[in-house]
């Protein structure tokens, strides 16, 4: 698409330079948070402990929530495994966070690179744009940086991204990736996985006898990660342990969450917006959330009328899924925690990025030379904004002082790693 510019040797080095610059800015922010973010119970004695227990005792359960393969460990092994290996090896929380950064950042760059190449961009522009998108996501999708604390939303979203990359190439692997995202990373991504899987199947379905077999094959691939997880439970705890896990899973998904939500329903809608987490957000943050929610609905019309079969289907399913997430989060979520809303934010962001590509393609047909100019103006303005924010907040590239992240080391839990937690009583 941009080969007339980016394949030239001078632009090759320019794109590589931009890639390095975007990477430095991203790591600047990530290293700061990895160094200076303090204790968080979900990160340490929940998800890190669960991953460590999985590798040492084949039991994905935390320190405080410690039922066999405890379903309350809502960030799965596909998101937390680097921290489990690191903790058992005796490394610090800081090292765990660096491993999580490499794990998520690296996957995102590779998956985005292949996806952008498929859209017709040169390899040099694709890697440059992938690095920019990661920097943009960290800055403009709220609370994304929380992935360094073992929260599985970003990892789950990246497995969904891999499914989009794999659909045209190896559909079976794409549905397995959807299953990993849902069953082994973050269950709350199930509606997004449904939208992606249904879009691909409906857009490629054929009216013949083998279609049912093809649908069944995709469905089995989606449930394969869950089947492997269940097999591990049965291997470790037998059929009685599996039955108990089913009971606990049902309680966690259908009883504990909804029962808490029903208590919060005593608050009116305006009371929820003022008393729960939404009330702590500034205006800019609220506007970003609303753009990701309503943007696909407002602009999806153009994709429906101009697009291919799968674009028409996705332009219907995506706004519908966003509506379901929005209803659940604004009216039912017990505390309106923003990270619980990440599936909707990622879906809305991805939809808008694709619309941007469609928009650039339509401009390119009329004026090919203006497209690179628009892209690099956007790159430049976003980068200047990011640098200004880093300087304004006095975020150092590296913090040398001793921090919680460096002082907490495995493989034994203590009061340094979980302040206020009584380990001796356990």
pLDDT tens figures, 179-211: 999 999 999 999 999 999 999 999 988 777 788
Residue 243: pLDDT over 60: yes
**Which whole-number Å values give the CA distances from 72 to 40, 187, 256, in the listed order?**
16, 11, 10
CB atoms within 10 A of CB 20: 12
Of residues 80 and 399, the one with the higher pLDDT is: 80
Report pLDDT for 127.
93
Q: Give the residue numbers spanning the domain of 117.
A: 1-151+396-426
pLDDT in tens, 28-43: 889 988 988 888 888 9
Q: Looking at the structure, tell me whether residues 176 and 145 fall in a common domain.
A: no
Q: Which of 264, 288, 303 is the last residue of a domain?
A: 264
Phi, psi of 276 (to 5 degrees): -90, -170
Mean pLDDT of 291-308: 81
Cβ–Cβ < 8 Å for 319, 286: no
- Which residues lie below 8 Å from residue 282, measured CB to CB, with a gap of 6+? none
Q: Looking at the structure, tell me whether residues 3 and 143 fall in a common domain.
A: yes
In a domain, residue 212? The reply is yes
| pLDDT winner (highest mean) among 116-120, 155-159, 410-414 | 155-159
Q: Looking at the structure, tell me whether residues 103 and 206 fall in a common domain.
A: no
Mean pLDDT of 224-252: 93
Q: Looking at the structure, tell me whether residues 137 and 174 fall in a common domain.
A: no
Q: Which of 219, 238, 264 is the last residue of a domain?
A: 264
Beta bridge mates, 92: 409
**Share above pLDDT 90 across residues of the chain, in percent, rounded to a whole number:** 49
CA 40 from chain centre, in angstroms, equals 19
Report pLDDT for 1.
45
Residue 368: pLDDT over 90: no
Q: Which of 221, 244, 264 is the last residue of a domain?
A: 264
Report pLDDT for 51.
94
In a domain, residue 312? The reply is no
pLDDT in tens, 342-361: 999 999 999 999 988 888 87
Mean pLDDT of 128-132: 92
Q: Looking at the structure, tell me whether residues 12 and 80 fall in a common domain.
A: yes
Which range among 111-115, 269-273, 323-327 shows the weakest confidence by mean pLDDT? 269-273
Q: Looking at the structure, tell me whether residues 65 and 211 fall in a common domain.
A: no
Q: Looking at the structure, tell me whether residues 13 and 50 fall in a common domain.
A: yes
> pLDDT averaged over the chain?
86
What is the C-alpha separation between 412 and 306, in angstroms, rounded?
58
Count: domains in the chain? 2
Q: Looking at the structure, tell me whether residues 102 and 142 fall in a common domain.
A: yes
Q: Looking at the structure, tell me whether residues 215 and 100 fall in a common domain.
A: no
- DSSP conformational letter for 169: T
pTM of the model: 0.91
**Share above pLDDT 70 across residues of the chain, in percent, rounded to a whole number:** 90
Q: Looking at the structure, tell me whether residues 100 and 21 fall in a common domain.
A: yes
What is the C-alpha separation between 197 and 176, in angstroms, rounded?
10
Residue 212: pLDDT over 80: yes
Report pLDDT for 6.
47
Residue 257: pLDDT over 80: no
Q: Looking at the structure, tell me whether residues 123 and 174 fall in a common domain.
A: no
């Amino acid at each position: 698409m941009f080969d007339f510019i980016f394949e030239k040797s001078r632009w090759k080095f320019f794109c590589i330079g931009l890639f390095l610059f975007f990477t430095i800015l991203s790591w600047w922010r990530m290293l700061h948070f990895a160094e200076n973010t303090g204790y968080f119970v979900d990160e340490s004695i929940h998800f890190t402990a669960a991953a460590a227990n999985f590798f040492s005792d084949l039991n994905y359960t935390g320190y405080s929530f410690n039922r066999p393969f405890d379903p309350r460990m809502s960030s799965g092994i596909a998101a937390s495994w680097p921290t489990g290996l690191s903790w058992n090896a005796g490394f610090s929380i800081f090292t765990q966070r660096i491993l999580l950064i490499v794990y998520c950042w690296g996957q995102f760059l590779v998956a985005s690179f292949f996806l952008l190449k498929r859209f017709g961009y040169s390899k040099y522009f694709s890697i440059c744009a992938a690095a920019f998108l990661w920097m943009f996501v960290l800055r403009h999708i709220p609370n994304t940086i929380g992935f360094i604390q073992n929260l599985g939303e970003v990892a789950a979203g990246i497995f969904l991204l891999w499914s989009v990359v794999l659909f045209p190439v190896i559909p079976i692997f794409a549905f397995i990736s959807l299953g990993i995202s849902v069953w082994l990373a973050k269950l709350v991504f199930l509606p997004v996985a449904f939208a992606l899987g249904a879009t691909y199947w409906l857009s490629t379905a054929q009216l013949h006898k083998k279609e049912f077999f093809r649908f069944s094959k995709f469905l089995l691939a989606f449930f394969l990660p869950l089947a492997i997880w269940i097999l591990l439970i049965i291997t470790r705890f037998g059929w009685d342990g599996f039955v108990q896990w089913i009971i606990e899973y049902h309680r966690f998904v259908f009883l504990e969450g909804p029962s808490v939500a029903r208590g919060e329903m005593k608050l009116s809608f305006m009371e929820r917006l003022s008393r729960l987490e939404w009330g702590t957000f500034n205006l800019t943050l609220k506007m970003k959330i609303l753009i990701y929610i309503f943007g696909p609905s407002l602009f999806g019309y153009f994709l429906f009328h101009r697009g291919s079969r799968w674009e028409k289907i996705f332009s219907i399913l995506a706004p519908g899924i966003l509506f379901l997430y929005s209803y659940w989060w604004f009216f039912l979520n017990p505390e309106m925690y923003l990270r619980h809303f990440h599936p909707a934010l990622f879906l809305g962001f991805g939809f808008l990025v694709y619309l941007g590509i469609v928009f650039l393609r339509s401009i390119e047909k009329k004026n090919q030379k203006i497209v690179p100019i628009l892209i690099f103006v956007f790159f430049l303005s976003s980068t200047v904004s990011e640098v200004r924010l880093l300087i304004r907040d006095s975020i150092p590239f590296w913090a040398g002082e001793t921090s919680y992240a460096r002082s907490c080391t495995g493989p034994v839990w203590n009061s340094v790693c979980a302040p206020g937690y009584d380990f001796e009583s356990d």
